[in-house]
Amino acid sequence: MIRKPTIKSWRSAEQWLLGSMALALGTVAGIWLLLDPVPMAVPHFAALVLLIASLAASLIMIGLAGRTRRQMEAMLQGQVGAEARAIETLRSSEAQWKEVFEHNPVMYFMVDAKGTVLSVNTFGAAQLGYSVSELLGKSVLKVFPAEEQLAARSNVGVCLENIGQTHSWEICKVRKDGSSLWVRENAKAVRRLDNQLIVLIACEDITERKEAENALRQSEMYLAEAQRLSRTGSFGWRVASGEIIWSEETFRMFGYDKAPSIKHATVFQRVHPDDRARVEQTIDRASRDGKDFAHGYRLLMPDGSVKHVHATAHAVTDASGEMEFVGAVTDITARKRAEMKLHEAQATLAHVTRVTALGELAASIAHEVNQPLAAVVTNAAACRRWLDRDPPDLKEARGTLESIIKDGTRAGEVIQRVRALVSKAPDQKAPLNINDVINEVISLVQHELLNHRISLRLELSPALPLAIADRVQLQQVILNLVINGIEAMQPVMDRPRELMIRTCQDEARQIMVTVKDCGVGLATENADRLFDAFFTTKSGGMGMGLSICRSIVDAHGGRLSASGNAGPGATFHFTLPLDQEGAP
């Protein structure tokens, strides 16, 4: 604070002068009145008055001048006070700002072009575990980990190239104790009055946000990785807007580049043309009913490869009451391929056992072909004799030719049946009458039954609905069950050997085929293993027959089971569903 003693002393001197003049004037007047109480001569009086007047006037003048001067002095003095106050205010403001600067929870750095710290606030230094003096004059790189120093340097460089422009970035710093913190820096290069280029940097600690971000990113990464590993992508579908949101894995699965959202048309572009109608139907129904759905379909990729996917979706209502589906789509191509391979292996095995079974029936089949063949040869000879007659008996010859055609056709049919069983044809499911299938099989085993003195009882329900099935596969099942029955009855000597085949509809309206023998029956300890592969009680058996029969029936959505009879023997049943929706 500046002191001004001169103004104060000036004022008291003036008061003193004014006081002493008034006192002197009073003294003169008193003396005059004392010495000459009679009125004096007029000239003396006039001179006295004049003197007094002039004295008074000068007194007034002095007073006026003093006032003016006092006013001026006061003015001057006020001016000086304001200045002082301003300085005072400035000083306090500076202190305040200094406080703010020092303790504001923002780290301030001022560095020169070389990156030497010119200034740093206490908070800034403290945040990094340093005291201000520990940083001043040091390279700012000191507070950056080695891997960030290059970035720090280049950031400062960018600022220096664009003076006056504010730049911001996020960077990791390292504390004195080696721990790190993430900051967001706002920086600007400015030219100081002394023409020196400096960079002002304000940094805000964003470690928490960064950690949260990192945690989120990591969690997303885990999810993405998990999706990739499980080949399961996720999707969201807002029904009203038709907007579909996919996860990274879903994009990869469908072979598209990542995009914020996609439309149905994009999805359908990949759906296999053969599956499109079905997928469309499912989607339409879901959007109408708003119910959870699951479906499998194929994708036809641009490179011509086919993927099998399975999607499951759960219906939810979002905050605004809009219907939305959240779901997962899994690439099941590998599983499908494995299934197909398994199926192929099963088909091969089924084929082998079929051929083996036919091998066992070779004599029977040969007989079935030979009979009509013998008839053809005999009829042809007879026909020649009818023609050789004189006159030729054309009527008989014609009749004989009819027989030849009939028998030749019959032989051909047997061969066709055998060929179908021997062939390795792929699944051909078609509507068929199970009774026809049974009769076809019987035609092949007739002789076998005869040879084993087995009488066959057929109870085929005439009014059965058609089943959708593979003819050859069903023939194999029936053939196998019949051969099993024949073999089971081989040791039977004390009772008539009878094999019964029955068709009917069970209580669930499914087609049921029953093959019942009166043979050795089932040993209870074997009942559970009956359908296991390689399980056999026969010395020459492979143990594949029933196992394959069961897998064939399963593949048709039916069930094959066995039970012991109340009397001797065993009964095998299998069912076939009327419609094949339940079949896998």
Partner 1 sequence: MTGRQASPSVAGAEDPIVFVIDDDSSVREALSNLFRSVGLRVEAFGSAHEFLQLKLPNVPSCLILDIRLPRVSGLDFQAELAKADIHIPVIFMTGHGDIPMTVRAMKAGAVDFLTKPFRDQDMLDAVTAAIERDRNSRDEAKVLSNLHELFATLTPRERQVMALVTTGLMNKQIAAEIGLAEITVKIHRGHIMRKMGAKSLPDLVRMAELLGIGPASGQPQT
Is residue 482 at the binding interface for partner 1, with CB under 8 A as the rule?
no
Tell me the one-letter amino acid at 271: V
Sequence-separated (6 or more) residues with CB below 8 Å from residue 524: 564
Reference 109, options 123, 89, 95, 96; nearest CA is: 123
Q: Which of residues 455-474 bind partner 1 (CB under 8 A)?
A: 455
Sequence-separated (6 or more) residues with CB below 8 Å from residue 468: 429, 430, 431, 432, 579, 580
Distances in Å between the Cα of 546 and the Cα atoms of 479, 484, 507, 515, 541 are: 11, 9, 25, 13, 11
Distance from C-alpha of 169 to C-alpha of 502, rounded to nearest angstrom: 85
Q: Please select the residue that binds partner 1; options are 363, 415, 430, 458, rule is CB under 8 A.
A: 363
Q: Please select the residue that binds partner 1; options are 126, 136, 172, 382, rule is CB under 8 A.
A: 382
Is residue 405 at the binding interface for partner 1, with CB under 8 A as the rule?
no
Least spacing, CB of residue 418 vs partner 1, in Å = 16
Instruction: Using the minimum distance from each CB to partner 1, give the nearer residue, 234 or 403.
Output: 403
Q: Residue 210, Cβ neighbours under 10 Å: how many?
A: 18
Instruction: Using the minimum distance from each CB to partner 1, give the nearer residue, 154 or 416.
Output: 416
| Candidates 108-116, 124-132, 374-382, 540-548; binding stretch for partner 1 (CB under 8 A) | 374-382
Would you give the end-to-end CA distance of the chain in angstroms?
Answer: 100
Reference 311, options 257, 256, 271; nearest CA is: 271
- Residue 466 DSSP label: P
Q: Please select the residue that binds partner 1; options are 403, 433, 505, 514, rule is CB under 8 A.
A: 403
Query: Is residue 387 within 8 Å of 399, Cβ to Cβ?
Result: no
Q: Which residues pair with 323 in a beta bridge?
A: 317
**Residue 501: in which H helix or E strand, if any?**
strand 497-505
Least spacing, CB of residue 426 vs partner 1, in Å = 34
| Candidates 42-50, 173-181, 213-221, 361-369; binding stretch for partner 1 (CB under 8 A) | 361-369
| Candidates 131-139, 302-310, 388-396, 575-583; binding stretch for partner 1 (CB under 8 A) | 388-396
Least spacing, CB of residue 369 vs partner 1, in Å = 9
Instruction: Using the minimum distance from each CB to partner 1, give the nearer residue, 314 or 389.
Output: 389
Is residue 394 at the binding interface for partner 1, with CB under 8 A as the rule?
no
Is residue 406 at the binding interface for partner 1, with CB under 8 A as the rule?
yes
Burial of 161 (0-12, 13-18, 19+ CB in 10 A): exposed
HEC profile for 176-191?
A: CCCCEEEEEEEEEEEE
Instruction: Using the minimum distance from each CB to partner 1, give the nearer residue, 455 or 563.
Output: 455
Reference 235, options 303, 162, 319, 330; nearest CA is: 330
Task: State phi, psi for 430 to the nearest 5 degrees.
Answer: -150, 160
Instruction: Using the minimum distance from each CB to partner 1, give the nearer residue, 383 or 548.
Output: 383
Q: Please select the residue that binds partner 1; options are 106, 373, 422, 483, rule is CB under 8 A.
A: 373
| Candidates 333-341, 342-350, 405-413, 433-441; binding stretch for partner 1 (CB under 8 A) | 405-413
Instruction: Using the minimum distance from each CB to partner 1, give the nearer residue, 20 or 451.
Output: 451
Task: State phi, psi for 167 to the nearest 5 degrees.
Answer: -120, 155
- Residue 154 DSSP label: H
Instruction: Using the minimum distance from each CB to partner 1, give the nearer residue, 247 or 379.
Output: 379
Q: Please select the residue that binds partner 1; options are 224, 386, 433, 442, rule is CB under 8 A.
A: 386
Instruction: Using the minimum distance from each CB to partner 1, give the nearer residue, 323 or 373.
Output: 373
Q: Please select the residue that binds partner 1; options are 407, 440, 487, 517, rule is CB under 8 A.
A: 407
Query: Is residue 484 within 8 Å of 531, Cβ to Cβ?
Result: no
Instruction: Using the minimum distance from each CB to partner 1, give the nearer residue, 285 or 389.
Output: 389
Distance from C-alpha of 442 to C-alpha of 455, rounded to nearest angstrom: 12
Judged by CB under 8 A, how many residues of this single chain contact partner 1?
A: 32
Is residue 452 at the binding interface for partner 1, with CB under 8 A as the rule?
no
Q: Which of residues 174-213 bind partner 1 (CB under 8 A)?
A: none
Instruction: Using the minimum distance from each CB to partner 1, give the nearer residue, 383 or 434.
Output: 383
Least spacing, CB of residue 442 vs partner 1, in Å = 14
Least spacing, CB of residue 487 vs partner 1, in Å = 19
Site string for partner 1, 408-447 (x = CB under 8 A): --x------------------------------------x
Q: Residue 169: helix, strand or coil by DSSP?
A: strand
| Candidates 8-16, 133-141, 377-385, 430-438; binding stretch for partner 1 (CB under 8 A) | 377-385
Q: Residue 579, Cβ neighbours under 10 Å: how many?
A: 10
Interhelix angle for 394-422 vs 471-488, to 10°? 90
Is residue 374 at the binding interface for partner 1, with CB under 8 A as the rule?
yes
Task: State phi, psi for 236 to the nearest 5 degrees.
Answer: -130, 145
Distance from C-alpha of 473 to C-alpha of 421, rounded to nearest angstrom: 8
Sort residue 347 into left (φ over 0), alpha (ψ -120 to 50) or beta: alpha
Question: Under the rule (CB under 8 A), what is the footprint of partner 1?
Answer: 363, 366-367, 370-379, 381-383, 385-386, 389, 393, 396, 399-400, 403, 406-407, 410, 447, 450-451, 453, 455
